[in-house]
Amino acid sequence: MIRREYTGNARRARNYIWNAAGRYDFEPPYLAFYPTGEVDMYVNLVLGLAVKWFDMDRLTDFFDSYKSSRSADEYDEFLWLGIENCVYAKELPERPILAQLRIDRANDFFRIQNSLSRQQVEMQSMAVYDQQAARWSEILGRHVLLAGKKRKMYEFLKFDGNLDTEGLIARMNEFFEEFFRFTPGISEEKRSFRLADSLRRGFGKRRGSSEKLMVRTADGGGITDKDVLLTHTAGMRYGFAPDKKDEDYIRACFGDCTYSDAEMRILEEALCTDADAACRLWVVKQQKNGIEAGALMSAGTTNAKTSDIQTQSGIDNSAVSRNTSIAKDARDFLTKVAEQRRRNKKYCEKNALMISESIKRLSAALGTLFESYSRHLPEKARAGRLVARNAYRLSVVHDPYVFLRDGDETENNIRVTLLLDASMSRLYSQEKIAAEAYVIASSLERIHIPLEILSYRTIRGFTVIEKLKECSEKRADSVLRYTAGGWNRDSLAFRTVGRMIREEDLNRTQSHILLILTDASPNDSMPIASGGRLGGKEYEGELSVREARKAVSALREDGIRTSAIFLGSSAHLDNVHQIFGKEYVRIQTIAQLADGVSELIAMMLRESPPD
């Protein structure tokens, strides 16, 4: 898939393009990668050959002419199939090796498809997949299984090798008119509404209406080179307002919201504004009985009646019970949560010695740091600070104890919140994240620092905040229920957690530290609302980083010391710096946790509190 973004393999991809183009004095407008993150050598060569044979400024202008379309990503994929056929025919006489490279690319296509998870397959555009599969099947000598309009489109995309730039653009315009009744350069808002065309094209696929929690168990050892990169595929480009069916799905997976409907309306009116205007919120305490139900099902009770499973899970709901599709998806999710919890526990048991040593080191370091932030509780005394309201007692009842002084008993004035990114991009780091959170929680518990642990993800337009551990809980084991799956709308999650912190400390009597364990890659299927309307720019890349940075700045301005524990790919180092400034630490192994977290908190405490 061609993406307008760079990853850690960007240098290698650019070299392929420069080599094919025969020049090194330009920045490629696109780079090509497989869904797994591997560099797509052949398609990068095609990109370079396009630079060689065509006027790329003209082609880029053409691609930009339809970028506001809801199906822009899908159109890109179709057109590059046509361009591939064209430049292959042009270049083959000069580079006979292209024939073998093309065959290798065809084999890679089917190899990659077979390795994708079910969720990644579901996120693909089937229209694009059909055309790609047909192209690479024919190259491998297989039968092309297409008919009707799909077959006609397939033949049309075999662009002739004799085309020049103007001929290519003309051919691409013909493609749009023939198959989509669409003219690039005319925005969809300005285009006159024609009923026949709308019926022919349909109204598109509602973004997220078929999204399931993108969860599966995987090696969670934290190999960041395998970070899952979620992309916004064609057919899911314009937004929707989450409806009752979406809410039923969220309730089925996570349980009832801890806030009442009236409280949630107030919360959403305050937080779901501007870029997040179309979004919803859901705050839950993860249900232990739901996990146990998942464990039962994974042990062989998956054929139980839907009503029985809902009751076991603590999510019995008439609307859910009536919808077998929602019930099945929730059942699958609970099963995977139970399996991931077992993996988390097994990982901690396997690394028990290292975890135990990390807890000892971190608790000792933090204990020293927080001592200066412990306050002595006042006690009555004959001298000290006069309590004005009690001054009368001195003369009336001859009570000399109308003063206060610092006593021997102390009380800690700091509270910590640990916020875990639970999106699918954390798929390959689940066990490691759970173990790191366990080390931090156990260390703070040893020195009696109040700690709550939350996780966040976004699915079907709902940003879900789960309470994995509350301040009142004395054991850290509950964090082992952590499971990754979904998208992540960081800005909305950060603001929501800040609001929750302040609501629990209305008198502002405590100093708050918010540690966010993140890969600094905010990405959501719901677009950024524009002018109060849906269908704005995608929540990804630079725009989503900017929104997250604004949310972090607002937290700090409100007096919440906010920093990041970065566990992610090197490709996102610039993101974490933009969002959190200097207040972050990169942790690659649990052994680094004690030193890294203690140094980070020391830096936070040295900084002057925000005004």
Q: What is the CATH number of the domain that holds 274?
A: 3.40.50.410
Identify the pLDDT of residue 311: 39
- Residue 412's pLDDT band, with cuts at 50, 70 and 90, is low
Rounded to whole angstroms, what are the CA distances from 596 to 247, 358, 538, 559, 599?
A: 40, 11, 34, 23, 5
Q: Do both 271 and 400 map to the same domain?
A: no
513 shares a domain with 419: yes
Q: Minimal CA–CA distance to 43: which of 506, 35, 345?
A: 35
Q: Would 335 be classed as within a structural domain?
A: no
Number of domains into which the chain is organized:
3
Residue ranges making up the domain that contains 521? 238-242+255-284+351-373+413-611
Give residues with Cβ within 8 angstroms of 426, minimum separation 6.
228, 433, 484, 519
Least confident among 40-44, 86-90, 192-196? 192-196
Question: Looking at the domain assignment, is residue 23 inside a domain?
Answer: yes
Higher pLDDT, 248 or 292: 248
Write the pLDDT tens digit of every residue in 45-63. 999 999 999 998 898 889 8
Higher pLDDT, 329 or 136: 136
- Distance between CA atoms of residues 608 and 511, nearest Å: 12
Task: Tell which wins on pLDDT, 57 or 237.
Answer: 57
Q: Judge if 404 and 367 occupy the same domain.
A: no
CB neighbour burial string for 199-213, b if at least 16 within 10 angstroms, e if fewer: eeeeeebbbbeebbb
User: Residue 363's Cα: distance from chain center in Å?
Assistant: 31
pLDDT (0 to 100) of residue 287: 58
pLDDT band at 407 (very low <50, low <70, confident <90, very high): low
Same domain (yes/no): 138, 268: no
Indicate if 103 and 11 belong to the same structural domain: yes
Q: 410 - beta bridge partners?
A: 376
- Is residue 85 in a domain? yes
Q: Residue 490, Cβ neighbours under 10 Å: how many? A: 30
Coil/strand/helix, residue 287:
coil
Within this chain, do residues 358 and 390 fall inside the same structural domain, yes or no?
Answer: no
- Written as six digits, the tokens of 136 are 């690479």
Residues 387, 367 within the same domain: no
Q: pLDDT band at residue 442, thresholds of 50, 70 and 90?
A: very high
Tell me the C-alpha distance between 438 and 74, whole Å: 43
> Do 385 and 260 belong together in one domain?
no
pLDDT at 233 exceeding the cut of 70: no
Q: What is the pTM of this model?
A: 0.60
Q: Is residue 339 part of a domain?
A: no
For residue 233, being part of any structural domain is answered with: no
Residues 388 and 490 placed together within one structural domain of the fold: no
What average pLDDT score do residues 299-316 get?
Answer: 40
Question: pLDDT class for 79, splitting at 50, 70, 90?
Answer: very high
Q: Which residue has the higher pLDDT, 241 or 533?
A: 241
Output the CA–CA distances (angstroms, integers) from residue 262 to 259, 269, 446, 554, in the order listed.
8, 11, 38, 25
Among candidate residues 454, 458, 480, 457, the one with its CA nearest the CA of residue 468: 454
The residues near 110 (Cβ < 8 Å, ≥ 6 apart) are 133, 136
pLDDT in tens, 309-343: 343 344 444 444 456 667 777 888 888 888 999 99
Percentage, residues of the chain above pLDDT 90 = 37
Could you give the CA distance from residue 175 to residue 76 in angstroms, rounded to a whole number? Answer: 12
Q: Does residue 277 sit within a domain?
A: yes
- Cα 338 to Cα 334: distance, rounded to the nearest angstrom: 6
Looking at the domain assignment, is residue 247 inside a domain? no
The answer to whether residue 135 scores a pLDDT higher than 80 is yes
pLDDT of residue 186: 55
Domain assignment present for residue 327? The answer is no
SS (H, E, C) 117-142: CHHHHHCCCHHHHHHHHHHHHHHCCC
* Length of the chain (residues): 611
Confidence of residue 113 (pLDDT cuts 50, 70, 90): confident
598, HSE (Cβ side, Cα atoms, 13 Å): 20
Q: Which of 25-39, 158-172, 263-277, 473-487 has the lowest mean pLDDT?
A: 25-39
Q: Which two tokens stand for residue 597?
A: 């977290």
Residues 424 and 551 in one domain: yes
Q: Based on the fold, state whether residues 382 and 437 are members of the same structural domain.
A: no
DSSP string across 45-92: HHHHHHHHHS-HHHHHHHHHTTTTSTTHHHHHHHHHHHHHHHHHHHHT
Note whether 391 and 280 are same-domain residues.
Answer: no
Over 80: is that where the pLDDT of 6 sits? Answer: no
Q: For residue 184, how far is the Cα from the chain centroid?
A: 32
DSSP, res 608: P
pLDDT tens digits for range 186-203: 544 444 333 333 333 333
Residue 548 has pLDDT above 60, yes or no: yes
Instruction: Look up tokens 């992309």; give the residue.
Output: 231
Range name among 78-92, 158-172, 556-570 with the lowest pLDDT average: 556-570
Q: Which of 409, 428, 459 is the last residue of a domain?
A: 409
